[in-house]
Amino acid sequence: MKVQGVRLQLNGMLIVNALTDEDAGMILRHLEAWINMLAPGLLVSTRTYTVVANFVPVEFDLKEESVRRKVVAENRAVMEREEEVVGLRWLNGKGQGQHSAKRHSSAVITVNSAKLADLLIERNITVLRAICNVQKYIPPPQSNVTAARLSAISLPCAQESPTPQALDVLDAWVNTPPTSANAQ
């Protein structure tokens, strides 16, 4: 396993960049083994991928959990599990709550897999039997595009910064090759 880099941001967030998705998966599989040594109370946030579905009927509220289930159920050929869809929201806040004659809008779909995002773009989706064109989501200019390109795992720390001992443990963990016992 190889780690591309580890850096501590000013807000206390520790960013671990893995070279490949397989390496990121290895880190996530072994979280329990090292997370409490690094910093107690550590929260883990994994990489997500965002696409935009156009021409989505505005007849429902995307914030409701039942809507996510319906969208996944209607698109089982593309989305296998509900857990793959991390978030649904209207682009620019448009949707059911707006008092307008609009019948369709664009929805932002956040998923936890780059392969699923690519498949959504390739195959499109249906919502209430309406075919919705899916394309890559391009964030507004103020977003950090460089960070979005990295396969990163964000670890927000509860304390101002990890202790020197925690950084030593992380350094040792990153630079130690896995043995057959812990390489699964």
Same domain, 19 and 70: no
Same domain, 42 and 54: no
Domain annotation covers residue 171: yes
| DSSP letter for each residue of 42-61 | ---B---EEEEEEEEE-SS-
Same domain, 126 and 55: yes
What average pLDDT does this structure show over 3-8? 78
Domain annotation covers residue 96: yes
Domain annotation covers residue 129: yes
Confidence of residue 179 (pLDDT cuts 50, 70, 90): low
21-30, 54-63, 98-107, range with greatest mean pLDDT: 54-63
**pLDDT for residue 182:** 46
Same domain, 129 and 161: no
Residue 93 reports pLDDT greater than 90:
no
Same domain, 40 and 53: no
The H or E element spanning position 88 is: strand 85-90
Same domain, 42 and 57: no
Same domain, 94 and 69: yes
Residues of the chain with pLDDT > 90, as a percent, come to: 26
173 touches 2 (CB < 8 A): no
Mean pLDDT of the chain: 77
**CATH value at residue 127:** 3.30.70.330
Residue 134 reports pLDDT greater than 90:
yes
Whole-number Å distance between alpha carbons of 174 and 3: 7
What average pLDDT does this structure show over 28-32? 75
Confidence of residue 183 (pLDDT cuts 50, 70, 90): very low
User: In whole angstroms, how far apart are CA 90 and each of 5, 95, 157?
Assistant: 35, 6, 30
Domain annotation covers residue 184: no
**pLDDT for residue 162:** 65
Whole-number Å distance between alpha carbons of 129 and 140: 30
Q: What does the buried/exposed string (b/e) look like for 39-54 if buried means 16 or more CB atoms within 10 Å of the residue's CB?
A: beebeeeebebbbbbe
Same domain, 126 and 67: yes
What average pLDDT does this structure show over 54-71? 89
What average pLDDT does this structure show over 92-116? 78
Same domain, 53 and 91: yes
Domain annotation covers residue 80: yes
What average pLDDT does this structure show over 73-91? 90
Total tally of structural domains belonging to the chain: 2
Q: Which domain holds residue 78?
A: 49-136
Same domain, 157 and 130: no
Q: Which tens digits make up the pLDDT trace of 155-167?
A: 555 555 667 777 7
pTM of the model: 0.59
Does the CA dihedral 141-144-148-150 come out positive or negative? positive
Same domain, 115 and 55: yes
